[in-house]
Amino acid sequence: MKKLVAPLLLAASLGAWAQSAEIANPDPKVEARLKSIAHELRCLVCQNQTIADSEAPLAVDLRQQTRKMIAEGKSDDEIRAYMVDRYGDFVLYKPPFNAVTAVLWAGPALLVIGAIATMFVFLRRRREAAAATPAPDARRRKEIEALLAAEDDARK
Amino acid sequence: MKALKYIVPLAIFAILCVFLAVGLTKDPRKVPSPFIGKPAPAFSLARLHEPAATFSPEDMKGKVWLLNVWASWCVSCRVEHPVLNDMNRRGLVPIVGLNYKDQRADATKWLAQHGNPYTLSVWDFDGKVGIDYGVYGAPETFVIDKQGVIRYKHIGPISPQDLETILLPLLAKLNA
């Protein structure tokens, strides 16, 4: 176990080291804000990583750019707008609601509504069908009771 | 009515298949550029070969031209380069190179070795102009019209087929 954990710890600490070595004197406040923004931005080189996680040169540049904009006193929205202006909505992990993304956002809700509606229709039909089942006539009833009585006898 | 029980799931499955099949034909690396139809971002950069001189997109006003992002470290650029050389030989369109995150010496050596199809190249050492153009890899090529508006962005190397089927018709249209 120890043999396994040690390299993992080393790898983790190296990762942390790589991040902090990116600039000489990281300001914890700036780094915290950078982290919160960069986690919402997609790195376009390695598309399933955020700009915060990626070590691609472009991600490093964009982190640097974000730091600069934070230092200039830009708001989170301004920084996001800067990225979207250059890389499009795709850069946001949380895409805005617009004509193109309407299906994306509304789709799941529509599916749930559709499923609930279908369920209600199905249940009502079943209830109606049950209500509509004619009561067994006298002869049939006798047969049923005889069968049930035989069952009870068998159990005794 | 009974058949509906089987037809509905089958129909849903078929629709899902269509969506997935369409998804397979799309290249997730090709991100639509937000710059199409917008003015090319302004910049002023030192030229690669004459560091004292600068270039800015303004200088190309009135001409249809290409801005090609390249670097000596870029493997796909080698694939694309013969096509650019061919375009230059045929005198199709002025091509301005954006030498992206490269060492000046490496870049000039690379051009000496592979041929220089560029009217001129500018040197974007820190990739700042690259960010302003939404560049996320090389090569990338922007087609810019006479008014300085970006009309098309080609991501990845231009193949001879791309030249014939996409670029030449577009250039003819823009130059008309």
Tell me the pLDDT of chain B (176 aa) as tens digits: 678 888 989 999 999 999 999 988 888 777 778 899 999 999 999 999 999 999 999 999 999 999 999 999 999 999 999 999 999 999 999 999 999 999 999 999 999 999 999 999 999 999 999 999 999 888 999 999 999 999 999 999 999 999 999 999 999 999 98
Give the residues of chain A that fall short of pLDDT 50: 14-18, 20
User: pLDDT tens, A6-22?
Assistant: 655 555 554 444 454 57
Please tell me which of the candidates A45, A57, A86 has its beta carbon nearest to residue B134.
A86
The Cβ-side half-sphere exposure at B39, using a 13 Å CA radius, reads 8
The alpha helices in chain A, defined as continuous H runs, are 2-20, 28-38, 57-71, 76-87, 102-132, 138-155
A11 Rama class: left (phi>0) / alpha (psi -120 to 50) / beta: alpha
User: pLDDT tens, A133-143?
Assistant: 777 788 888 88
Residue A148: Cβ-neighbour burial (10 angstroms; 0-12, 13-18, 19+): exposed
Pairing of strands B95-100, B65-70: parallel
Nearest-CA residue of chain B relative to A63? B131
Q: For residue A17, what pLDDT is reported? A: 44
Q: Does B162 touch chain A (CB under 8 A)?
A: no
Please tell me which of the candidates A44, A65, A84 has its beta carbon nearest to residue B136.
A44
Residue A135: Cβ-neighbour burial (10 angstroms; 0-12, 13-18, 19+): exposed
Inter-chain CB proximity A87 and B31 less than 8 Å: yes
Please tell me which of the candidates A58, A84, A85 has its beta carbon nearest to residue B136.
A58
Q: Does A58 touch chain B (CB under 8 A)?
A: yes
- Residue A43 contacts residue A49 (beta carbons within 8 Å): yes
pTM of the complete model beyond 0.90 = no
Contacts of A18 (CB under 8 A, 6+ apart): A55
Inter-chain CB proximity A87 and B34 less than 8 Å: yes
Q: What are phi and psi of A67, to 5 degrees?
A: -55, -45
User: Which H or E element spans position B21?
Assistant: helix B4-25
- Cα(B46)–Cα(B55) distance, integer angstroms: 6
Nearest-CA residue of chain B relative to A58? B136
Q: For residue B137, what pLDDT is reported? A: 85
Q: What are phi and psi of B99, to 5 degrees?
A: -75, 115
Enumerate the β-bridge partners of residue B97.
B68, B121
| DSSP structural state of residue B33 | P
State how far residue A11 is from chain B, nearest Cα, in angstroms: 27
- Cα(A82)–Cα(A92) distance, integer angstroms: 11
State how far residue B157 is from chain A, nearest Cα, in angstroms: 16
